[in-house]
Structure 1
Amino acid sequence: ESILSTYSNIYNHPKLIEEPRKAPRISINPKSGLPMNGATVKVKSFCKLSQDESQSKPAGPKSLCNGSVIQLKDKSPEEKRECKKLLKEYSVERRIDRVFRVNLVRKYEGDSWSQMQRERSSRTQGV
């Protein structure tokens, strides 16, 4: 240990300088989209878990992302086509929903904007 390997804080208590450890890099499996190191979760158990969660949640707009990321090898081509068809329908519904929400916001923003301009003009005319 040399004087260079220590440093002092504001109270002058020397302490050994430690090299910070790098966190291990998490690699993701390209097929499943799950981390390969760390907590190991099997694809089939992950699908079962997501199915259990989907059954317990109330009805409403649900995301198909979790189901579309993991493609089991034992799926038949018909099942894969059906999943793809459902995903396309879902994306169309989301697109329609998004357009509806944007138009709704624009409508209310336009109303409030024109109302604000009318109030400004009435204030300036009254002065």
Structure 2
Amino acid sequence: MQEGKWHEYARGKVDQLQYAFIHLDVVGVLAESVDSGAYWRKLKERLKKEGNETATNCHAFKMTAADGKQRMTDVADSEQLLRLIQSVPSSKAEPFKRWLAKVGYERLQEIENPELAS
């Protein structure tokens, strides 16, 4: 996925209010890792040792994988996503954080004025 098309990382809704961002997708792009699964496992282990709640509060949901099969994968809501982004040293992190802030602002505007949501 290309930088700037961050909305493509929201693969599906966990519930009516929150999107699920898949850790492997986000980490893979931010870290530019060939093996995003290995990178996420090591990062998750490091975060747990540090007592960082990003790793301990992640949840696994069945999501559609690249091969079309349903698999359990770690997902993040927008708050967890921001913490995850801050844990990965990357030049791509700042644009991702700006996009997340923009989406949050737009959502607040839609809540205040439901006519904007369409």
Question: If the length of structure 1 is used for normalisation, what is the TM-score?
Answer: 0.30
Does 1 or 2 have the higher relative contact order (CA < 8 Å, sep 6+)?
A: 2
Q: Which has the larger radius of gyration?
A: 1
Question: If the length of structure 2 is used for normalisation, what is the TM-score?
Answer: 0.32
